[in-house]
């Protein structure tokens, strides 16, 4: 027990020390507090983007899902999250430039500036805040699991403790503190999770034997046919592609990048980081069946702590559990910071300087408490909480995309698009039976299936309202600007082809072992990620952003 206390104490002291150090030279203005003066070079941008994205959902949600769903969850998360970097690069340079031009920090601010609509800005900000609260609740929920596994006692105590610590260092140092703690937490999380995987595989007799034994216990876990149908597979990949760039904390990192090149390099390397991050927890969760077969949904979310303590003992097990704590804290601090910026910049921007700073602090504290309460009293699993937020985020993408490419987009088109899409998400949550017969009922693992009808409704509503309030030519103009430039065209077509190849129906029934005991289709996805990296580099070398003939020409032609 003393070893676990020592590891946790040292870790928390380092975090607080870094936050205090980051306060030196920090100004009180929002650019300094929320964006670290727009100074993130590509190494730090990659680290903080990854640490922010890979949360409790990555460590505990994905290990629990790996236990329940099986090996098929690995490409869904590793390849799917890595491919999401395509969307980050597609919007990233334009986001950075417009955020500088409009002195904007959030997506709603850019939308409001581009459309000239305060209503569109506040509608989007309000929904983004609501969407972030369930995802924010993932972090204290998982913190409770970790602290309880380390020291025993009730899970709520760990959830409260971690929430307080994150509030303290986030309020203290702003993005500068968050980025520097992200670096520490990212290194800790990645290295210790891989150590945990090595220990679990070694205890199971090596990869080939472990997967062979797993196939003997339950062969369904080594395939996809009994876990996914193609439409759910497609919906999940599409969900990551559209939802992740709309996370307030990820979008804010694009605004904080020091250059377009930083965004490009981060996006090109992201598939590697995604694979390295998701492979250990999912495989550990999957191998949990060897010694802990038959866990229910709630218990499966705690399979990773159970496995690493069993094979690593108190000392190593405690260290590896710190990795999960690092992952969730590196996301929670960014969520509080970015959601707080939505409140002070979009929902209450008229306050004076003193009122602005007070609201900045109280909003982050209030959001943390809301997330804590939801984590303690909700009976949704970690995966369900994450998927709910993701669907809400994905609906925002069409309106944000259109706003980035035109100043002629009508604010009412944005409002109608977002509300119509979120109504579909609400129906999927509260009345999923409505989708039966004409679509897939979005329940359980099929929750992501709601994203396709929701996004289609959002796009159609956006187009119809824009035509009614402006004219068809304005829609044609937006579509024209959103097309890839000549230099980007072939890399973009290649990336679209990779997305199609990710629907490898020809191996859908394959469960046979190949290299290291893994089936062929797992290696297929590793190859697709490698091809994606090459195409992203080609896209960067083309020197043109998707949808940008040149940024300056777009601005001129829209006036």
| Domain CATH code at residue 232 | 1.20.1730.10
Which candidate, 52, 81, 130, 138, places its Cα nearest to that of 425?
Answer: 130
Q: What is the pLDDT of residue 421?
A: 95
Which of the 8 DSSP states describes residue 485? P
In a domain, 32, yes or no: no
The number of CA neighbours under 13 Å toward the Cβ of 241 is 21
Q: Which range has the worst mean pLDDT, 403-407, 418-422, 444-448?
A: 444-448
Q: How far apart are the first and last CA of the chain?
A: 66
Domain that holds residue 330: 2-23+40-558
**Number of domains the chain is built from:** 1
- Cut 0.85: pTM above it: yes
Please write the tens of the pLDDT for every residue from 334-346: 888 888 888 888 8
Which candidate, 333, 17, 20, 24, places its Cα nearest to that of 175?
Answer: 333
Q: How far apart are CA 18 and CA 28, in angstroms?
A: 18
In a domain, 59, yes or no: yes
Overall average pLDDT of the 243-250 stretch = 91
Determine the angle formed by the axes of helices 520-542 and 486-501, rounding to 10 degrees.
170
Q: Give yes or no for residue 77 having a pLDDT over 50.
A: yes
Residues 443, 432 contacting (CB under 8 angstroms): yes
In this structure, the number of other CB atoms found within 10 A of the CB of residue 479 comes to: 14
Q: Give yes or no for residue 521 having a pLDDT over 90.
A: yes
In a domain, 35, yes or no: no
Q: Give yes or no for residue 476 having a pLDDT over 70.
A: yes
Residues 265, 49 contacting (CB under 8 angstroms): no
Residues 95, 405 contacting (CB under 8 angstroms): no
Q: What is the pLDDT of residue 26?
A: 59
In a domain, 30, yes or no: no
Q: Give yes or no for residue 462 having a pLDDT over 80.
A: yes
Q: Which range has the worst mean pLDDT, 48-57, 248-257, 287-296?
A: 48-57
In a domain, 28, yes or no: no
In a domain, 463, yes or no: yes
Cβ partners under 8 Å of residue 345, min gap 6: 30, 104, 105, 106, 108, 109
**Helical segments of 431-518, H only:** 451-469, 472-482, 486-501
Residues 486, 547 contacting (CB under 8 angstroms): no
In a domain, 136, yes or no: yes
Q: What is the pLDDT of residue 161?
A: 86
In a domain, 188, yes or no: yes
Residues 435, 472 contacting (CB under 8 angstroms): no
Confidence of residue 380 (pLDDT cuts 50, 70, 90): low
Q: Give yes or no for residue 445 having a pLDDT over 90.
A: no
In the chain, the percentage of residues whose pLDDT exceeds 90 is 41
Overall average pLDDT of the 380-392 stretch = 67
Confidence of residue 557 (pLDDT cuts 50, 70, 90): very low
Q: What is the pLDDT of residue 556?
A: 39
The number of CA neighbours under 13 Å toward the Cβ of 453 is 21
Confidence of residue 25 (pLDDT cuts 50, 70, 90): low
Q: What are phi and psi of 257, to 5 degrees?
A: -65, 145
Report the mean per-residue pLDDT for the chain.
84
Q: Which range has the worst mean pLDDT, 113-127, 290-304, 319-333, 521-535?
A: 319-333
Task: Give residue 527's Cα distance to chain centre.
Answer: 23
Classified as helix, coil or strand, 321 is helix
Which one is predicted more confidently, 383 or 2?
2
Overall average pLDDT of the 187-193 stretch = 84
């Amino acid at each position: 027990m003393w070893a676990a206390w020592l590891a946790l104490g040292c870790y928390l002291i380092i975090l607080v020390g870094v936050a205090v150090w980051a306060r030196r030279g920090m100004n009180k203005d929002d650019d300094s507090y929320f964006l670290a003066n727009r100074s993130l070079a590509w190494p730090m941008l990659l680290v903080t983007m990854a640490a922010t994205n890979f949360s409790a959902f990555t460590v505990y949600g994905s290990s629990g899902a790996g236990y329940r769903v099986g090996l098929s969850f690995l490409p869904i998360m590793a390849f799917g999250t890595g491919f999401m970097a395509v969307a980050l690069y597609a919007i990233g340079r334009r986001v950075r430039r417009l955020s500088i031009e409009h002195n904007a920090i959030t997506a709603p601010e850019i939308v409001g500036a581009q459309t000239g609509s305060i209503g569109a800005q506040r509608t989007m900000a309000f929904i983004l805040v609501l969407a972030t609260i369930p995802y924010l609740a993932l972090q204290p929920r998982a913190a409770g699991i970790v602290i309880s596994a380390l020291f025993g006692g009730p899970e709520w105590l760990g959830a409260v403790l971690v929430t307080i610590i994150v509030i303290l260092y986030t309020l203290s140092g702003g993005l500068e503190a968050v980025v520097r703690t992200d670096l520490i937490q990212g290194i800790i999380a990645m290295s210790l999770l891989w150590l945990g995987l090595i220990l679990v595989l070694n205890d199971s007799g090596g990869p080939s034997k472990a997967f062979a034994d797993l196939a003997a216990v339950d062969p369904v876990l080594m395939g996809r046919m009994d876990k996914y149908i193609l439409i759910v597979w497609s919906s999940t990949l599409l969900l990551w592609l559209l939802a992740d760039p709309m996370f307030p904390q990820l979008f804010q990192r694009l605004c904080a990048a020091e250059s377009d090149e930083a965004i490009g390099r981060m996006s090109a390397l992201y598939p590697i980081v995604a694979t390295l991050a998701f492979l250990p927890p999912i495989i550990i969760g999957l191998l949990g069946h060897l010694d802990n077969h038959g866990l229910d949904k709630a218990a499966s979310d705690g399979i990773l702590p159970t496995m690493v303590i069993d094979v690593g003992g108190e000392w190593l097990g405690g260290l590896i559990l710190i990795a999960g704590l690092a992952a969730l804290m590196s996301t929670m601090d960014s969520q509080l910071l970015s959601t707080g910026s939505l409140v002070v910049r979009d929902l209450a921007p008229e306050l004076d300087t003193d009122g602005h700073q007070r609201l900045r602090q109280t909003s982050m504290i209030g959001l943390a408490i809301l997330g804590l309460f939801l984590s303690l009293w909700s009976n949704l699993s970690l995966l369900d909480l994450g998927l709910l937020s993701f669907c809400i985020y994905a609906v925002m993408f069409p309106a944000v995309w259109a706003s980035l490419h035109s100043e002629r987009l009508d604010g009412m088109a944005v409002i109608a698009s977002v509300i119509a899409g979120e109504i579909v998400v609400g129906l999927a949550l509260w009345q999923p039976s409505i989708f039966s017969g004409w679509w897939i009922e979005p329940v359980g693992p099929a929750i992501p299936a709601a994203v396709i009808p929701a996004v289609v409704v959002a796009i159609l509503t956006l187009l119809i309202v824009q035509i009614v309030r402006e004219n068809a030519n304005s829609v044609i103009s937006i579509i024209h600007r959103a097309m890839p430039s000549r230099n980007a065209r072939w890399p973009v077509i290649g990336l679209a082809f990779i997305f199609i190849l990710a629907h490898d129906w020809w191996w859908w029934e394959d469960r046979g072992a190949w290299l290291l005991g893994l089936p062929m289709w797992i290696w297929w996805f590793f190859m697709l990620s490698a091809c994606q990296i090459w195409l992203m580099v080609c896209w960067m070398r083309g020197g043109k952003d998707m949808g940008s003939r040149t940024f300056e020409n777009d601005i001129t032609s829209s006036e």
